[in-house]
Amino acid sequence: MPARPGLNATVELDVTDADTALAMRTGVVPVIATPRIVALFEEAAVLAVHEHLDEGCSTVGVSVQMEHVAPVAVGGHVTTEALLDKVEGRRLSFRVSARDDRGLVAAGRVVRVVVDVEAFLDKTRS
């Protein structure tokens, strides 16, 4: 069954010291780092469609747009969601959001493209 709009997945995270801007060297504050949220968005997008792709296929990220609007400290719990809202050939567009117990933490869009894994990897070989 091919990927179709409406597919979704969630990923949850209990924020640790390793997830912070301080640890990732993207800031000096001990709150969840923006790149960590991006990784959660990508993980949720992959999970949303993985079982619906042809054998030997996967997706690769090509674009992320997001706004990180609230901090989450170490010990906080974040739930991210990716919802596939548009399919244009091999191009898959997701709406993504992250929330904690106080509300919205980040939101945006992720675009991934379906690839044949072996053909894609051939591009990396000399």
| Catalytic residue, candidates 10, 16, 20, 42 | 42
What CA–CA distance (Å, rounded) separates 75 from 43? 21
- pTM, entire model: 0.94
| Catalytic residue, candidates 34, 43, 50, 52 | 34
Please count the structural domains in the chain.
1
Asked whether residue 29 is assigned to any structural domain, the reply reads yes
pLDDT, tens digit, 9 for 90 and up, residues 48-103: 999 999 999 999 999 999 999 999 999 999 999 999 999 999 999 999 999 999 99
Residues above pLDDT 90, as percent of the chain:
96
Active site residue 34: yes
Q: Read out DSSP for 70-111?
A: S--BTT-EEEEEEEEEEEETTEEEEEEEEEETTEEEEEEEEE
Expressed as residue numbers, the domain containing 75 is 8-122
Q: Is the pLDDT of residue 2 over 90?
A: no
Q: Is the pLDDT of residue 1 over 70?
A: no
Active site residue 77: no
Asked whether residue 63 is assigned to any structural domain, the reply reads yes
CATH of the domain at 69: 3.10.129.10
Active site residue 68: yes
Asked whether residue 83 is assigned to any structural domain, the reply reads yes
